[in-house]
Amino acid sequence: MSKKLLSGSFLILLLLLANYSWAGGDGAQVPTRSLFFNNYQIALGVDNDHYGSMSLDRMMYFAKYPYQMQRDLSGFTEEINTTAYGMALYVNLGFSPLNKKIGEYRENREVRFGMGFHSPKEAMLSYKDASRDTSIVYCNIQSEITIEGSYIFKGDWGRKWMWRLGFGGSIGTTFNNSMMLIHGRYYEPGAHPTEQPEEDIETETFRAKNVSYLRAYLIAGISYKLGEKWAMGFEYRRGCGVQLIGGSDPHYLQRTGSFMLGVSKRFR
């Protein structure tokens, strides 16, 4: 996949949404479309990708010109970080599907389409030598934009609470990609190389390839009603995925997920 594919998918999404009925007014709605626009949601979250494995060869696939990053690692001990974290902004539109048997829109189902805007995540591979008080860190940094779709089962829990369960998936592509080599002093396991004094760090930056992602996940959430139209709540996603880099085999994400807090407004 590429940015062109993602842009094409986004345009198709807009055309599809334009073909559906949009809520307006308080009059009775005549079921003429398969989906009826019912609500929108905006949420902030923390997301993560956990790689099943990571190696120097795999890290080099991110680089545009891997030969520029070759270094002598004799005597160094490898330390692998297999989880990448980041922040994200999610914007989703919710649609009620039509129950064709009775000619009414389902109140307990929802089809969602939306986008996610993800802050930089870093995949990191460290090489350390305590005896020489030195370290070399290979780091790939990438931001991401995703297009998402999901199917939700939902209902009320008492007068004020609402629950939802479902499944979904996304496609994504990265931007602002870069590779970094961080030269510094030895640091303890679990620490971050940039926690060292600035004068002890030397950073080299290199060009990186674009990366594409496919993800599938389960969804669980709960919301609290803030009046007749608004609600606030949290949502948790957990699933798996595939990372695609040009010139390499697919790399599987053993776990991928997000935890988000957001608000929603419904129109009927």
Structure tokens at 208: 């990186």
Confidence of residue 8 (pLDDT cuts 50, 70, 90): low
Q: What is the pLDDT of residues 156-200, one digit of tens each?
A: 998 999 999 999 999 999 999 999 999 999 888 878 888 888 888
What is the helix (H) or strand (E) element at residue 177, kind and residue range? strand 161-184
Q: Where are the domains of the chain?
A: 3-10+35-266
pLDDT for residue 24: 43
Percent of the chain whose pLDDT exceeds 70: 88
Confidence of residue 267 (pLDDT cuts 50, 70, 90): confident
Q: Under DSSP, is residue 68 helix (H, G, I), strand (E, B) or coil?
A: helix
Percent helix, strand and coil across the chain, each rounded to 5? 10, 60, 25
**How high does pLDDT run on average in the chain?**
88
Residues counted in the chain: 268
- Cα angle 88, 91, 97 (rounded to 5 degrees) comes to 135
Q: Under DSSP, is residue 130 helix (H, G, I), strand (E, B) or coil?
A: coil
CATH class of 3-10+35-266: mainly beta
Q: Tell me the C-alpha distance between 59 and 63, whole Å.
A: 8
Q: Tell me the C-alpha distance between 147 and 10, whole Å.
A: 7
pLDDT of residue 37 exceeding 60 = yes
pLDDT for residue 10: 54
Listed residue (125, 126, 107) closest to 38, CA to CA: 107
For the chain, what is the radius of gyration of the CA atoms?
Answer: 23
Outline where the chain has alpha helix (H). Answer: 3-18, 56-61
pTM reported for the whole predicted model: 0.83
Q: Tell me the C-alpha distance between 141 and 130, whole Å.
A: 26
What are phi and psi for residue 198, nearest 5 degrees? Answer: -60, -35
pLDDT for residue 234: 96
pLDDT of residue 4 exceeding 60 = no
